[in-house]
């Protein structure tokens, strides 16, 4: 995991208009702040609260040219939607080509989705033998 | 230039996994001067857990550092190191470090059943072991005590035993319980898997398993046994451990005794260690490879190879995997990765024509897989969350291990094309074919799982089966055991026929692979070997 990339993206996305910094996005209609990205990510994922590490990671998974379509909600962003959702839910970005990058593990939304039944692997699940009980939600 | 070390131990053990660790421990505790050579480094559990959590992506090998001088077959990329000559891939995977491959194992510790050792006599296929179950039974028990095994009493198709398991069986998860109930109704025997992880108690200084559900690739708390624990006990008893020492040559004297082992350090410098006795415990691929690399005047075909059997008869448990979605939520992922076994296909008269099998419901969470699947389908928002929950609770996987027969043309040799690793040592070249004995059993298993799936509310045609076979890392056969020195490498004691002071501790000595995981049998034979070497060394 390359923390330097994340931190640098995080700091510039933390309020500064991306359009001001990214020449390719200078004509963007939507103000491409971190907040607009986060709002769209929340709506798409079904989660009201998303850890910032996941949001920053998901943002960094998109090519700069895809952000506009993603935030604009005009239906043109199928691929970007899936890229962001996979990043938020799995905690990593695994492009078809190129090196995968993990930005979160236990915070990945897929684990939050099932947390009442299954613990995050490598974290203790409960009292020894807890697994023999019927899960509460069954 | 080769530097000869000043010490001359009673015993040199090459390899620091469960096999080497146990031979060394027994011998050191009996008072022998023991040196262990390991090609890799020592590992720290906390580091491994950190590396796992940060890995992208997470695989069986992601916790384990890459060791350039001791290359390890990487998941899905075994061909970077193992040269696959086919026709089928032999995608085995192992760790080269102190502790060996049991750092990331499932800790399933099954005994062979007596018939597993008499295939030729009973079914007219494969080979018999030169020893029978009764001879190994006391050593199985010693191994269970050493590894700390929890298991069921009087379960069907579990091997006969003279004493109870050291710990009672680990409880089923809800999923295993449902499998048990539904499959019992269909006539199957589903039993608690014997396993060396601590069941609700402290054992041998290890904490109780608290269901981190991460047994493969790393138990974060050390509740399950791994080979480094035996190595540490050997060290506590006085054994010397030399790490990052890649053994590559055994020297043979005119009297056929092994006189020294040579090893390389990461910088390529070479050392030579003389000893009275040698135990090769470098796993089922690296061990035979060292023997075949050791061609010399008094061993022109390699060490222990007057029968031409070193490297041959390579076996594994070619695996099948079948997947379906149950109607009701069973929630895989609660507790240890494997808790039960479907065992009544371990033996039967049909072994004349098809492989014995052990089937296992998988208790790992499949949430990653169902998440990516649902996202790819275009689901979003609440619908996506619900789909992930629904599927993660219902995705069922049944694995099967198929017994494979020994075939001398299935073999490992040092690269015949001069392909080498970073130290210039030949890479292992594998020739491997899976035959109809296995294919017939795999077909039968697939049909059976389709029937099972119906009992879980799935349709037959919704069951997904893997193509080909999965590797199961039970690397067996390449220094095969037998009474006849013309067609076997080691005798019934696991001592080489050719060299009176060279012993082999590994599943590579097994004449049959059975349908169960091999490591408890490795451990039993290793403990027996440590005692035998110590007994012989005593005046
Ligand atoms: C994912 C996975 C899950 C598994 N689960 C199970 C299970 O549930 N139950 C079961 O019974 N088995 C299981 N196995 C198999 C089990 O791990 C092996 O049977 C066992 O580790 C073999 O022990 P060993 O000591 O012979 O070899 P290893 O554990 O591989 O140890 C070999 C040792 O030799 C050293 N070595 C190798 N070459 C050299 C050299 N040239 N010079 C010096 N040292 C050398 C290595 O560093 C290592 O220390 C599993 C394997 C895998 C990969
Ligand atoms: S379930 Fe967890 S604690 Fe138990 S053995 Fe596996 S990893 Fe270790």
- Which residues make Cβ contacts (< 8 Å) with residue B365, sequence separation at least 6? A114, A118, A121, B213, B332, B333, B392
Q: Chain A contacts of B50, Cβ < 8 Å? A: none
Give the residue among B280, B222, B241 at the shortest CA–CA distance from B42.
B241
Query: CA–CA distance from B264 to each of B2, B289, B295, B356 (Å)?
Result: 9, 15, 17, 42
Domain ranges in chain A are 3-132
Q: In this predicted structure, what is the pLDDT of residue A9? A: 30
Give the residue among B192, B119, B51 at the shortest CA–CA distance from B356.
B119
Angle at which helix A78-90 crosses helix A64-72, to 10 degrees, equals 100
Of B336, B371, B393, the CB nearest to A110: B371
* Contact between residue B164 and residue B213 where contact means Cβ atoms under 8 Å apart: no
Of all residues in chain B, the one with the smallest CA distance to A41 is B381
Could you write out the DSSP letters of every residue in B93-121?
----STTGGGGG---B-PPPPGGGGBHHH
Of B213, B384, B393, the CB nearest to A125: B213
Superfamily for the B1-105+111-149+226-316+407-429+475-539 domain: FAD/NAD(P)-binding domain (3.50.50.60)
Residue A66 CA to residue A93 CA, distance in Å, equals 15
Q: In this predicted structure, what is the pLDDT of residue B471? A: 95
Per residue in A76-93, pLDDT (tens digit) is 678 889 999 999 999 999
Q: In this predicted structure, what is the pLDDT of residue A8? A: 30
The minimum CA-CA distance between A103 and chain B, rounded to whole Å, is: 8
Per residue in A59-78, pLDDT (tens digit) is 998 887 788 888 886 766 78
Give the residue among B178, B453, B406, B211 at the shortest CA–CA distance from B312.
B406
Give the residue among A111, A7, A112, A24 at the shortest CA–CA distance from A59.
A7
**Which of helix, strand or coil describes residue B4?**
strand
ipTM of the complex as predicted: 0.90
Rg (CA), chain B: 23
Angle of CA points B382, B385, B389, to nearest 5°:
140
Query: CA–CA distance from B297 to each of B1, B271, B272, B496 (Å)?
Result: 20, 20, 18, 18
**Predicted model pTM:** 0.94
Residue B209 CA to residue B200 CA, distance in Å, equals 7
Give the residue among B195, B199, B243 at the shortest CA–CA distance from B216.
B195
Are the Cβ atoms of A135 and B382 closer than 8 angstroms? Answer: no
What is the DSSP code (8-state) at residue B327? S
Strand B11-14 with B395-402, pairing: unpaired
Could you identify the residue written with the tokens 């060290």?
B235
Just give the CATH number of B166-213+319-403+435-468.
Answer: 3.30.410.10
Per-residue pLDDT of chain B (539 residues; tens, 9 = 90+): 999 999 999 999 999 999 999 999 999 999 999 999 999 999 999 999 999 999 988 889 999 999 999 999 988 888 999 999 999 999 999 999 999 999 999 999 999 999 999 999 999 999 999 999 999 999 999 999 999 999 999 999 999 999 999 999 999 999 999 999 999 999 999 999 999 999 999 999 999 999 888 999 999 999 999 999 999 999 999 999 999 999 999 999 999 999 999 999 999 999 999 999 999 999 999 999 999 999 999 999 999 999 999 999 999 999 999 999 999 999 999 999 999 999 999 999 999 999 999 999 999 999 999 999 999 999 999 999 999 999 999 999 999 999 999 999 999 999 999 999 999 999 999 999 999 999 999 999 999 999 999 999 999 999 999 999 999 999 999 999 999 999 999 999 999 999 999 999 999 999 999 999 999 999 999 999 999 999 999 86
Residue B515 CA to residue B525 CA, distance in Å, equals 18
Q: Which residues pair with B2 in a beta bridge?
A: B270
Burial group, residue B155, by CB count within 10 angstroms (0-12, 13-18, 19+)? middle
Burial group, residue B228, by CB count within 10 angstroms (0-12, 13-18, 19+)? buried
Q: In this predicted structure, what is the pLDDT of residue A136? A: 83
Burial group, residue B389, by CB count within 10 angstroms (0-12, 13-18, 19+)? buried
Q: In this predicted structure, what is the pLDDT of residue A23? A: 39
Q: How far is the CA of B368 from the centre of ligand 1 (A)?
A: 28
Q: In this predicted structure, what is the pLDDT of residue B539? A: 62
Give the other-Cβ count within 10 Å of B231's Cβ: 28
The minimum CA-CA distance between B199 and chain A, rounded to whole Å, is: 7
- Which ligand has the shortest distance to the CA of B210? 2
Give me B312's structure tokens. Answer: 């041959």
Q: Find the largest Cα–Cα distance for chain B.
A: 77
Give the other-Cβ count within 10 Å of B276's Cβ: 18
Show which of residues 141-170 on chain B sit within 8 Å of chain A, judged by CB atoms: 170
Per-residue pLDDT of chain A (138 residues; tens, 9 = 90+): 333 333 233 333 333 333 333 434 433 444 568 889 999 999 999 999 999 999 999 999 888 778 888 888 676 678 889 999 999 999 999 888 888 899 999 999 999 999 999 999 999 988 899 999 998 877
Are the Cβ atoms of A122 and B200 closer than 8 angstroms? Answer: no
B193 interfaces chain A, CB cutoff of 8 Å: no
Are the Cβ atoms of B375 and A85 closer than 8 angstroms? Answer: yes
Domain ranges in chain B are 1-105+111-149+226-316+407-429+475-539, 166-213+319-403+435-468
A23 interfaces chain B, CB cutoff of 8 Å: no
Residue B1 CA to residue A134 CA, distance in Å, equals 65
């Amino acid at each position: 995991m390359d923390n330097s990339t994340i931190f640098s993206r995080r700091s510039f996305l933390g309020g500064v208009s991306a359009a001001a910094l990214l020449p390719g996005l200078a004509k963007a209609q939507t103000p491409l702040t971190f907040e607009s990205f986060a709002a769209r990510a929340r709506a798409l994922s079904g989660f009201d609260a998303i850890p910032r590490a996941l949001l920053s990671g998901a943002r960094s998974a998109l090519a700069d040219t895809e952000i506009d379509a993603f935030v604009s909600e005009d239906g043109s962003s199928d691929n970007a939607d899936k890229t962001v959702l996979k990043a938020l839910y799995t905690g990593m970005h695994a492009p078809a080509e190129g090196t995968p990058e993990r930005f979160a593990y236990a915070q990945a939304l897929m684990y939050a989705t099932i947390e009442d039944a299954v613990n995050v692997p490598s974290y203790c699940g409960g009292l020894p033998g807890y697994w023999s009980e019927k899960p509460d939600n069954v | 230039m080769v530097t000869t070390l000043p010490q001359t131990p009673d015993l040199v053990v090459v390899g620091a996994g469960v096999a080497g660790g146990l031979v060394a421990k027994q011998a050191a505790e009996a008072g022998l001067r023991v040196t262990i050579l390991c090609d890799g480094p020592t590992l720290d559990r906390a580091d491994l857990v950190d590396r796992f959590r940060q890995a992208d992506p997470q695989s069986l090998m992601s916790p384990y550092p890459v060791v350039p001088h001791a290359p390890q077959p990487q998941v899905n990329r075994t061909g970077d190191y193992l040269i696959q000559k086919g026709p089928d891939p032999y995608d085995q995977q192992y760790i080269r470090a102190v502790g060996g491959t049991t750092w990331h194992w499932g800790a399933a510790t099954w005994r062979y059943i007596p018939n597993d050792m008499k295939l030729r006599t009973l079914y007219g296929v494969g080979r018999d072991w030169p020893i029978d179950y009764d001879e190994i039974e006391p050593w199985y028990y010693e191994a269970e005590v050493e590894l700390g095994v929890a298991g069921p009493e009087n379960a069907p198709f579990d091997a006969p035993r003279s004493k109870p398991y050291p710990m009672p069986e680990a409880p089923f998860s809800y999923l295993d319980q449902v499998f048990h109930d539904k499959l019992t109704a269909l006539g199957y025997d589903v039993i608690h898997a014997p396993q060396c992880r601590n069941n609700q108690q402290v054992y041998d200084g290890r904490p109780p398993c608290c269901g981190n559900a991460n047994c493969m690739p790393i138990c974060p708390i050390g509740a399950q046994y791994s080979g480094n624990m035996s190595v540490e006990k050997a060290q506590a008893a006085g054994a010397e451990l030399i790490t990052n020492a890649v053994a590559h040559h055994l020297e043979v004297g005119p009297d056929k005794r092994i006189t020294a082992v040579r090893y390389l350090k990461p910088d390529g410098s070479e050392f030579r260690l003389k000893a009275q006795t040698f135990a090769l415990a470098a796993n089922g691929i690296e061990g035979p490879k060292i023997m075949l690399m050791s061609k010399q005047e008094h061993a022109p075909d390699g060490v222990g190879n007057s029968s031409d059997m070193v490297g041959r008869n390579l076996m594994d448990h070619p695996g099948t995997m079948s997947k379906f979605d149950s109607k009701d939520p069973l929630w895989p992922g609660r507790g240890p990765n494997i808790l039960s076994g479907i065992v009544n296909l371990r033996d039967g008269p049909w072994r004349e024509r098809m492989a014995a099998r052990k089937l296992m419901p998988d208790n790992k969470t499949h949430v990653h897989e169902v998440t990516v699947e649902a996202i790819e389908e275009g689901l979003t928002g609440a619908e996506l969350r619900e789909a992930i929950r629904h599927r993660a609770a219902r995705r069922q996987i049944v694995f099967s291990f198929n017994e494979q027969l020994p075939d001398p043309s299935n073999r490992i040799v040092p690269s015949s094309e001069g392909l080498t690793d970073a130290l210039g040592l030949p890479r292992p070249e594998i020739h491997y074919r899976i035959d109809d004995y296995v294919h017939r059993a795999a077909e039968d298993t697939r049909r059976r799982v389709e029937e099972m799936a119906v009992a879980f509310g799935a349709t037959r045609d919704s069951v997904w089966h893997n193509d080909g076979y999965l590797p199961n890392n039970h690397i067996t056969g390449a220094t095969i055991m037998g009474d006849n020195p013309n067609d076997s490498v080691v005798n019934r004691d696991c001592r080489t026929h050719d060299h009176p002071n060279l012993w082999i501790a590994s599943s590579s000595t097994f004449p049959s692979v059975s349908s169960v995981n091999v490591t408890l049998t490795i451990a039993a034979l290793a403990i027996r070997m440590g005692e035998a070497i110590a007994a012989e060394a005593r005046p």
